[in-house]
Amino acid sequence: MIFLHATDLVYVLSGFIVGALVGITGVGGGALMTPILIMLGVSPVTAVGTDLLYASLTKSGGTLVHGYNHTVDWRVVVRLATGSIPAAALTLLALYELHIGSHATQVLITKVLGVALLLTALALLFRRTLTRVYANRIGEMPPERVRRLTIAAGALLGVLVSISSVGAGAIGATVLVMLYPKMSTARIVGSDIAHAVPLTLAAGLGHWALGSIDWVLLGTLLVGSLPGIFVGSSLAARVPDAAIRLTLAATLLLVCGKMLCY
């Protein structure tokens, strides 16, 4: 039985905690799960590939809840996906050319993961400052420019997520706060989670084609994460998440150091 093994229990518990954090804040999927898997001995390539499919399935549950609560702006989701899906495809093609199992690719993934974790932590810690400075210096932009910048932001996320599985959460949410300052926090989180579904699914299927998915590990993670994200998503509109974001940011900074020195 799978639950007789201590390591599997750790994976299930990790999946539940990360799933709940994703549901509440829109952050924590790849940013926490991929480093956890690597530090538990999973190879970086397998950790990224497995986490991408894990994230797509987990966030599908969160999207259903947010959609039911009317906290998803589908127009914004489509704009982000217009940039992120093609960028993900091109990035996966580049990984194929580099040979996914090579030492150089493993090093590339861990280094990009470390940088992505740092950016995620900074986005969590300084989101309000960044948005205030952005609003003071740039202000409200014409709708067409907002649309183009949203697509460009999606492309950047597509590259980061395909290499490291990190970026669709805090970085994506911070971009949305800047570009759509009148959007409620709940809709920012819901839209961010909804966009992560097609992005992580496309990137995850690409990693499947490259042979970097551990299906048993994926199933174990989902046992914990699916209940976790339903609980977190149900609470998202009512629970203040400032303390969660600060704790998550501190954790990411610690993990970032480990990944950059990996």
pLDDT digits (tens, 9 = 90+) for 132-181: 777 677 767 888 999 999 999 999 999 988 888 877 777 788 888 888 88
Q: Is residue 161 part of a domain?
A: yes
Range of the domain at 245: 2-257
Nearest one of 221, 260, 173 to 52, comparing CA atoms: 221
Q: Is residue 151 part of a domain?
A: yes
Q: Per the structure, how many domains does the chain have?
A: 1
- 15-63 tens-digit pLDDT: 888 888 777 766 666 677 888 888 888 888 898 889 898 888 878 877 8
- 91-122 tens-digit pLDDT: 999 888 877 777 777 778 878 877 877 877 78
Q: Residue 89: which pLDDT band, with cuts at 50, 70 and 90?
A: very high
Distance CA 176, CA 215 (A): 33
Q: Is residue 262 part of a domain?
A: no
Q: Is residue 65 part of a domain?
A: yes
pTM confidence score: 0.76
The backbone torsions φ and ψ at residue 49, rounded to the nearest 5 degrees and listed phi first, read -60, -45
Nearest one of 82, 44, 30 to 193, comparing CA atoms: 30
Contacts (Cβ under 8 Å, ≥6 apart) of 203 = 52, 88, 91, 92, 158, 161, 162, 165
Q: Is residue 185 part of a domain?
A: yes
From residue 191, alpha-carbon distances to 55, 98, 161, 182, 251 in Å are: 15, 33, 17, 14, 24
pLDDT for residue 243:
64
Mean pLDDT, the chain, rounded, equals 81
Q: Is residue 99 part of a domain?
A: yes
Q: Is residue 70 part of a domain?
A: yes
Q: Is residue 97 part of a domain?
A: yes
